[in-house]
Structure 1
Amino acid sequence: MDGTVGFAVLGPMEIRRGETGEAVTGRLRRTLLGVLLARPGGGVPADTLSDALWGERPDERAAARLQLHIHRLRAFLGDPDRLAFGVDGYRLRVAPGEPDADRFETLIAEALRVRAREPGRAAVLLREALELWRGVPFAGLEVPLLDDWAHRLGERRLTAYEALYEAELACGNETAAVDGLSALVREHPLRERLHALLMTALYRAGRPADALAVYRTARERLVTELGLEPGPELRALERSVLAGEPIGRAARPGPSGAPAPPVPRTPAQLPADVTRFTGREAELAELDALLARPGNSGPVLVTAVAGTAGVGKTALAVRWAHRVRDRFPDGQLYVDLHGYGPDRPVAPEDALAGFLRALGVDGGSIPPVPAERAARYRTLLDGRRVLVVLDNAHSAEQVRPLLPGSPTACAVITSRDALAGLVAREGAHRLTLDRLPPADARSLLRQLLGTRATAAPAAVDALIERCARLPLALRITAELARSQPSRPLADLAAELADRHEALELLDLDGDPYTAVRAVFSWSYQRLDPDVARVFRLFGVLPGHDTDAHTLAAMAGTGPRSARHALETLLRAHLVDRIAPGRYQPHDLLRAYAAELAADPGHTAERATALTRLSRYYRAASAAALDAVAPYEKARRPAAPAWDGELPALASPEAARRWLDTERAALLEATRHGPPELTRFLSDTLWRYLETGGYHDDSVTLHERALALARESGDRLAEANALRQLSTALNRSGGDLHRAIALLRQALVRYEELGEPELRDASLVNLGNAYASLGDHFEALRLYRLAQEGGAGGWALHRAALCNSGISLQLLGRYEEAAQAMRTALALCQEHGDRTNEGNILSGLAEVSLQLGEEDRAYEEARRALGLARETGYRLVESHALRVLGQLHERRAEPERALHHHIRAEAIAREVGDPGLIASALNSLAGARAVAGHPRQALREYAESIAVAVGSDHRDLLARAHAGIAEVHAGLGDRDSARAHWRQALIHCEALGLPETDRVRERLAQCGPEPATA
């Protein structure tokens, strides 16, 4: 048989000889050939073939029967040498491109490579690939190995169709794409990407109503069959269609002229490819073979790259990931799990949160329970070709929740641990990475040192021996040699050899980690003293990365000197620049820096650096909040005097950027920092954390402040922490009853300590907690008590008036609400409180709307929205958008109303405030009902009920039940309407809400209960 043979598996199996095809008949022959093709070039044990042919039933004649079928298959192939027997079983020789599945993959890879710049050519290639399909692969064969291969091929076919229609749309062929996409959507109703492409094609073909109908159908199927809302891409498309905004390159601008909201991008998180990567060809080939092997038996390909510190595990994983990234068109996820180093390992739930955000899930929608996060992650990856790189893992338990469950995904893990649990339980393939072979080590040094290495082979071999053939150690040694270009390599090798203790460390117990430490010391000891001190400070610093100002503060120098030191460390490969102005050492280097800093000879230096860091963080945080909230400066603790240079924090925008960048480091500093730092940050950062929606961080910070205050017996600090923690719990959806209990404790402390102003502030906070419960009468009583106390200044008076206005409005006392809010607004404007000016304007807009003053409401809502965006007050931004949505409903503009309500709901989820989320969902559901989407409205009301019940927001619960009842009444379902009106009435009567009479009347209109037998 010559090389013109081919194997067709993309449909009924055939052998192709030249231009002729011959069907593979008989179930046993098709099974035998299919299993051998599933392991091309690899040995298949006889037992595996027997099990595939006849199952696991014991048969003493199985071996003889298998021989007969092998003989017949050889004759059918026409080339006995193609099918041989060896030590690892039967091996079918298959040349690249002979199976049509190979050609299919090659065409797809080429199409994906050119689709961005040549969409027309990509479409031609993809159509050619799809034309290879003639039916269902391996139909009628019940063999798990072939089922898996058929499933992967089917997934790849769908990926090809998606890429084809993306290319067609890029070429402007919307109308032609609609028919094909419509058929695919009918065939695969749960595949969101196909729905998104069809929506795009219809919208760009001038059929927006049909595009929205596709979204509604997709959402109903997803919710009904999977219990899931549509993903961010579909939601973004719906918003664009409703707003008349452009979608894609060929779209026309919408009437508003606003840019289209961003469509979530495919994650591409891989670090930059490794420069001058040397060797590891066998390991790369092994990874390639694992990926290419169709018969991989696990549910998902998991490969654990294990080896000692500095051996190049990350470099290998990143190099291979870049080589195969085209095979994963749905994205690449990457996380450094910090399994080894001075920091705590990344918790699986935190890594999952990062992956979910990268996959398009907004922060407020990330489930709080780790198991739910893992389930959502696996759901999002199902059917998608995604590569997941889990770097520097500490244990199997750390990575197990991060493994995808889809056969289309691939996970690569690097770890110093053997991860035996993953191998045993998940069937992971372990690739153990040894030290570089001598030849590869020489090649690496030749690349790094050029002719110097070529001219001194003996010195190079000596250096390789001293470095234990570890790539990291070799690179650092080469940098040391490059920093002294006139010095012979032999001299460097001799000097290293003379360091007897260092040489002993190189081979101590065969532990190459100590070799890395030794090589670090060679580079470190050649640093100038000031630069060496900056390097040691990385071992003291909280958090992972930092900037020149922070290091200058710790070192007692200026930022210019710190930058010079950092550039020197960069050149010495002792730190990396991870972003403009941000620096971070590798975990091993940071561990080494921590060892140096912990040396008894540096005790005083370490203590001074931590003291200066605490003062710097307090001074910088105070300066940042002075810019963000200048009106509250008098209420914040005074910052310590600072003799160094602070970052540029004069503008609110610059201050918020600094706070956003340093937030994680500030919180980490409170974990082991001095108590005064934790207390100061708790009393200072609360406003920033509240307006930014960082409620989880806020709870963490104030919990630490409370624990430290109780430990030290500082009753004033305890009272302050109790007050701040209760507010954070209220915002985060924590236990409202616990928040109330904490506030009552704070009130007792303030009374005992004679702090009337802080007592009155706590009364306002307590009123807020009762308002969240829906008890607005108790909230008003507490606000009044706070004002009658008379101890607070204008800011407390403003807060009590503003919050009273909100409760009065919710109780239907609109004129009183407007008066209270306008008085509070005047105070804000008098004192330059732009943050709360936006907040009050937003509330006033809603009151004006309820009073029928639509023009005034519109102006107030627009001003509130501008101020919210200026000050970063996300909660107010959501509320202002919601009021604008209600205005458009009044003006009979349902699509514009929906547009604003959708944006308001999205921001509410990002903020994570449950009361805000439930309110936004209620308003959005009401707008859906008005726009003629009752089923969608019911789903959103139901979600609002779930949020309100979970956070004990009873007034929002009442309004959600009333909304559901109204929708059911409109649909003619009187029984369901009656049940929900009754629930709404129970809550309205208990809370004294203004809707009580209307709800009672609507319940009566439903008629009496149906009689029972």
Structure 2
Amino acid sequence: MSDLDGGESCASTPAGSPGRVELGVLGPLRVAAGGTELELTSPRSRSFLALLVLNAGRQVSLSEFADALWGAELPQNPRRAVQLCAVRVRAQLDRIGAGDIVVTCPDGYRLDVPPEATDTGALALRLSEADAAADDAERELAAVTAALGLWRGEPLADVPSEELQREVAPGLREKRLQLLERRFDILLRRGSGAELVDELVALTARHPLREGLSGQLMQALHHCGRRGEALDVYHRFRRRLSDEFGVEPSESMRTLHAAILTGRQDEDRGTEPLRLPVPRQLPASAGAFSGRKGELAELDGLLTAMNGSSGPVVGVVTGTAGVGKTTLAVHWARRVADRFVDGQLFADLRGYHPGQALSPDRVQARFLRTLGVRGEDIPTDADELTAMFRSTMDGRRLLMVLDNANSADQVRPLLPTGPDCLAVVTSRDALLSLIAIDGASRVNLELFDMVEARELLARRLGPERLAVESQAADDIIAASARLPLALAIAAARAVIDRGAPLSALAEQLRGGLDAFDTASDLTDVRAVFSWSYRALSPDAARMLRLLGLHPGPHLTVPAAASLGGLPVRTAGRLLDELVRANLVTEPVPGRFALHDLMREYAAELVSADEAEADRDRAVRRLLDHYLHNGYAAVDVIDPLLTGDGPGEALPEVALEDLADHDAALNWITAEQEVLLSILDWAADAGFDRQVWQLVWVLFPYLMRQGSPAQAISCLEAALKAGERLGEPLLQARAHRGLGNMYLRAARDEDADRHFETALTLYRDNGDLSGEAHVAMGLAAFREQQGRHPEALEHALRALDLHERLGDTGSHANALNSVACCYIQVGQHQLALDHGRRSLAAFRELKAPEAESAVMDTIGDAHQQLGQFTEAIDSYQEAIRLARQVGNRFYTARSLDNLGDTYHASGDQAAAQGAWREAEAIFDELQHPAVRQVRGKLAGAAA
């Protein structure tokens, strides 16, 4: 609903004192203040205010108002229409001095009144009082009677909102019936059956299929000696239930019938009504529960969702093995257990245990026995069993925890149908079907963050011990991958051996999964992982194993397809299965990852279960994926930078569509961390040729991003690979690259050493092209040192060599180098001539990055000639091109030069603006030029 996006621009109105404002929806809409009733004549105003009353104290969004007021037939501008309605309602409320109770919020409105000012809020308070007085019949009866007294008729009787009548009114009517049943139950326990008969007869006539009321009428009749009529009520109820639904009354109803039939109720209980069993099945909560504040708040939201709900509320807690799903569910369930007066049910469905998972019918039968149904009365037919289960659950206020489910089909038959029941399901599977079809709310558990992990260790070991060895605690957390189960095992080991330092434990945990072996399938990390692994399809299990070969922090679907030798669509489907099983995460859309312990588990699996030849081919496909896609990306970004490609890719490798500049730049940006990890891994594994090729994928990108430390690290890896391969020309290219990088870092001695080594290697091997490239580097180096005639000499030597070799791109680059040197020796017109020739060549080659460098040179020449307008135009074009290709160093350099030109032309404000932009980029790149720019800014400020 795009018309409703965004909030109002005005600030929220501060809430004033609501005085004696009274608002009600348990009947016709009621608005009163100071004894004065307000009649809202507009139907939409009544709907607007009723929605606020039902959500008192909570913001109601504009889209919620629009749905409640107009349903599917929205006005042309629903957002404005809601605002106009709010204005009208406030104006009417102002007539009784209550206009300020409707407060404007960023995306809607809030009713700012205390809970007792609305009848629904007062109802919640009375129910809390009744629950708190469950052991005191008089106080409970008084609270229930007071709650019933809040009803003034049919809820929302004069509110014409179809949505509220459909979604809210039934729940409010159900709430009243439950209160009536609770009141009857209290009075029956007091022996007041006779005075209830007429009221119960009228209610059962209106609600003939409500088992609770029919059962209470049977008890009331029997208590006043009308046993035959009581039995007749049962038979009428049974016939109607059978005719309309084909099911029998619940076990408790049949037990009541049998008791009245034999007279046992009088003998055993006198006037006491039949009491249903109240199960308390929740396991004990973890003694040192830690963290999860956000997730606990999400679960608390389920309680809020129960208010006004016409059906049960279901929450699904999902997450990877060992992340603490059961711990969270049980801890939260114990916190709220007292809100469910008919008890709490718990079942471990064993969905991922080594043995067979529990079937729904077994759990249904177990729950029925818990709720008082005799074993011999439990049907064996699945449909009859489900019908009895639902009938038995109906009318009860129960909390159900279904732990360790493996599918929605295992859970669905166990879900209650009554509006006062809440079910919490835990699963390693995402249970998307339960969310999509049954309306379940998902609470997804991630690994602990550092704060939560330290909190767990502090609770288990004591904060003092952690404070003494803070770094060791962080090392334990890192070794445990922030997985709660692994952290709990580590903490247990530290508790057992209190005399040992935590640093010793941290060292042991670096041994991998073996360090988390507890000799118990229930708590051993490897065993817990294995239950999820065994539940996978064979193809997904293979994919998980192969992911153990991937050294990067994350991967894409095409990368996974290459690794597995699969079609991209198939790989995507298998990754989705692994995500649903919570063995793989998707931290950002389209990128998939394993936490460290899961990665180690996958590495163990692939080593044990995949043949060596299959592993080797998977690794080759993986390297080909990153090499071929990387070279394709660099070739699109700047074809002058790639050099020789990596040859033919294996046929199963997924080659991506990187045809345009943005797609290529986005690919290499997203894969930077992965490529660096692959590079390190390939070097350790002895893939020297691939290391060399990967460097020339990464190096141009790192140069553009201004990452000198990473660029130097890559070139050093290339140099070592060239040395191991015994190929001097590969070593020469690495030395040449290192010379250029140390030149940029102003490390003259290192730059000189690498340039000289590169030049010697090229000359010894007769490589004129390499010699020409070194001459270019030396030209830039001598220019930076202020040795301008020598720089020009090197540049002219490079130009001559490249012209003889016929390399158009390198020749154009040499022309630019010569132009730069002519500027330094005062030959500015010659500089312009060479720069323009260079620019024409690069435009022909469609090399925008090189064009940016030349435009900067041309700008320098114009500036030296005093042609400031032409210089400014040239620098601005250089900046535009540099930004287009993402070269931040070129961008900063041209901004700095642009600032100099503005300064020389007398525009000081523009100069400072350009310098500030240059300073920010140089500072982020940690480039030495930042000091010079700051000096210019300081001088301008003075």
What TM-score, normalized by structure 1, do the two folds share?
0.46
